[in-house]
Structure 1
Amino acid sequence: MRHQCISTPFISSFALLCGSLLAATSPLAAQQYIPPRCEIIPQANHEVSLRIDGVEKLRWNHDSRYPRPFLFPLNGPRGEPLTRMGHPGAPDHEHHRSVWFAHHKVNGLTFWSDNTQTRIRQTQWYRYRDGDDEAIMAVALSWEDADGVQLMQQDVVISLFPLDDPETAIDEHAVEFYLTFRPGQGRENVTLEKTNFGVLAVRVAKSISAYFGDGRLTNDVGTQDEKNLHEKPARWMDYSGPVALPPIASGAGRDRQVIQEGITFFDHPGNPSYPTHWHVRQDGWMGAAPTMQFDIVITNEKPLTLRYLLHAHHGTMDLQRAEQLHEQFASRPGFRIRKPVAGESHRHFEVERLEK
């Protein structure tokens, strides 16, 4: 049998052709997918991960085994939690779950502690919206009495966005809250009664606590410590202190690196009690208390909107930078939740910034 020889040029041409075809059909050859900087990724067990550049900064927890939803962890710029679950020394304060919504007197009922049959539960999510500038989560909460009767409805919009410090080039981030309260179904009104417990509270990590750690409370004019700040008005409140990095990042055991980080909690000029009074404690928590001085009656014609901002920052609070962030927050448009319009398919709701 006679064998035919295939010339080298033919083999080379064939190889080049195959390579070209493979390259043309390879995913790497197509326009590469670039993920948005800010993402919201649902997880198992009724949890939602909020991320920047693929790194989790915040997690929403709304499982029914808890009496109310909460955010944990709220991580700092270096990835360690700035908040904690529960009080470091009081087992009857398990309701202090990191960052949470609650109120001590709603139509005479308490939604504050765990020693009650009232519940705040998520009834649906409206929208998880990714983006390069911010990730936006919108959900509906129902405030219910022991019999499951709805007293109040709450729409929650949470935005996570990057805040890079221009002085240090350290990646920081902020969490914005846009909260709308309405009477429950079939009700004409609901009252948030006078109390200093509610509506949004933060339990900081033990090391950041002034009593259990080495942290410090500071307000918008630089005044410090609980005795000077508790039940006093301020445009914002800050809790900063030491945070120990894990051994994998900083060395083993006693060689762990300790840095300073904190949370600045901003009130908004549009809130009815601005500048709000604050419930703050040396043991490690701070809460904006819009009803510390008076009741707030919510009607269908006049729903209540509250806006807050949490800035997770490196170092201790910089008053000048906090002033700038407060001004930016004050002028930033709020949100609206709406039904989709033509061209917005495959979704039941849309959430977007209001026009200025």
Structure 2
Amino acid sequence: MHRSFLSLLLASTPLCGQITLEQKETSLRVNIDGELFTEYRTDQRVPCLYPLLSPSGGGLSRNYPLTEPGEDEQSDHPHHVSMWMSHGLVNEVDFWAQHLKRKGTIVHKSFGPHFTTSSSTGKLSQSTSFTVNLSWEEGETVHLTEVRTYSIQASGKSRTIDVTSVLTAPNADAVFGDTKEGTFALRLAPSLRLKGKVAKGSILNSNGEKNGDCWGKRAAWVAYSGPDNSGEPAVVAVFDHPSNLRHPTWWHARNYGLVAANPFGQHDFERKKDKHLGDHTLKKGTSLTLRHRVLFHHGTIKSAKLESTWKQFSKQK
């Protein structure tokens, strides 16, 4: 389908100083300067990006369950697949943890039609983007369709991935239920955890709150900092765009390396009695757009310039 276009694009793009894409039938590898940065994978119950590598080359995401657990990794939460998006209650179907009686899968349908690559060698920057078409399914029932675009940039000691998800209720109303189990998420390497044998990480949010105080709070962004799996200093930050539903969102930020932006978990995060407080109904035929940026930085919280990144991202329309 888009293979001939992508092949032409790759053939015309120099390897040095560039992002290149290697597409297979159901996966797509993203290389920066000829080295793996991440790969879009569809061999799990939901599509994900794995691995996630720092500009230093060190690992920033947990390996399990995409591969065997690495040294000092825990094989808990098998639904935590590196970097992904799903939700625990959509029309009472569990697309997150598979704990409920009704279980769903997010099916990769196709790539495209969007593939672009551009560069500005004067500033040593590169960018690329690609689109995937997804279907949130329970058996033969389609609860949601999704057009998801990944836009990737590399500059100096930083990499960013912008993820834009356009979710549509094609056949009937879709109710996103109030639960902490969701939604746009990453599971980070053990070295970025706050607790554990090799844990040396810390958490900071845009409010200035730290570590355990970040859980369940509303904030524009949340950042984990500490060593990557090779011991190099690293920062991983997730930003919630101002156009998103209920911005600033709530954060499911755990000391074991899970960070998730979740606009639907209000009763859980605020410990309210009304279990439907955070419900959101997407009417049949309408769409909801969610936008997030993830920053991967080789360095410290200070050198990551999080507020500058936030301001730049927040101004994008």
TM-score by length of 2: 0.81
- Is the CA contact (8 Å cut-off) linking 1:86 and 1:93 kept in structure 2? no
Aligned to 1:203: 187
After TM superposition, list the pairs within 5 Å mapping 1:182-331 onto structure 2.
182-184=168-170, 187-212=171-196, 213-226=199-212, 228-245=213-230, 258-293=231-266, 294-300=278-284, 302-318=286-302, 321-331=305-315
Cα pair 2:189 2:229 within 8 Å, conserved: no
1:38 counterpart = 2:19: yes
Structure 1 vs Structure 2: percent identity of aligned residues? 26
Q: 2:154 aligned with 1:162, yes or no? A: yes
- Contact 2:184 2:260 (8 Å CA) reproduced: yes
Change (3 A) 1:155 1:324: same
Q: Aligned-pair distance for 1:300? A: 4.5
1:234: how far off?
Answer: 0.8
Letter of the 2:257 counterpart: G
Partner of 2:130: 137
Quote how far apart the aligned CAs of 1:318 are.
2.5
Equivalent AA in structure 1 for residue 235 of structure 2: G
Per-residue deviation, 1:89: 6.8
| TM-score using structure 1 length | 0.73
RMSD: 2.2
| Secondary structure of the corresponding residue to residue 214 of structure 1 | coil
Superposition deviation, residue 79 in structure 1: 1.1
Residues 34 and 229 of structure 1: CA distance in aligned 2, closer, same or farther (over 3 Å): closer
CA 1:134–1:79: 2 relative to 1, 3 Å:
same
Distance 1:264 1:277 in 2: 15
Establish whether residue 78 from structure 1 lines up as the match of residue 49 from structure 2: no
Give the alignment partner of residue 140 of structure 2, picking from 148, 154, 157: 148
Deviations 1:316-343 (A, max 9, x none): 322881111111111124xxxxxxxxxx
Q: Secondary structure at the match of 2:50?
A: strand
Is contact 1:138–1:157 with CA below 8 Å preserved after alignment? yes
CA contact (8 A) 1:105 1:194 kept: yes
Write out per-residue CA displacement over residues 123-173 of structure 1, whole angstroms, 9 at most, x where no aligned residue. 11113322224111101110011x221111111000110133xxxxxx311
CA-CA distance at 1:241 after TM superposition: 1.2
SS at match of 2:89: strand
- Which has the larger Rg? 1
* Shift in Å, 1:272: 1.2
Listed one character per residue, the Cα deviations across residues 71-100 of structure 1 (whole Å, up to 9, x for unaligned) are: 101111111220113487764511111101
Secondary structure of the residue that 2:232 maps to in structure 1? strand
Is the aligned partner of 1:69 residue 2:47? yes
Of 21, 38, 54, the match for 2:34: 54
What's the counterpart of residue 123 of structure 1? 109
Contact 1:40 1:137 in 2 (8 A): no
Structure 2 residue runs of 5 or longer lacking an equivalent are 1-11, 66-71, 120-125, 267-277
Paired positions, count: 277
**CA–CA separation in structure 2 for the residues paired with 1:163 and 1:291:** 33
**CA distance in structure 2 between the aligned counterparts of 1:34 and 1:215, rounded to whole angstroms:** 37
Counterpart of 2:172, as a letter, is E
The Cα of 1:296 is off from its aligned counterpart by 1.7
Aligned AA for 2:46?
A: R
Unaligned runs of 5+ in 1: 1-31, 165-170, 246-257, 334-356
Q: Is the 8 A contact 1:67 1:114 kept in 2?
A: no
Paired position in structure 2 for 1:346: none
Determine the C-alpha separation between the residues in 1 that align with 2:207 and 2:136.
36
Taking the aligned partners of 1:260 and 1:90, their CA distance within structure 2 comes to: 22
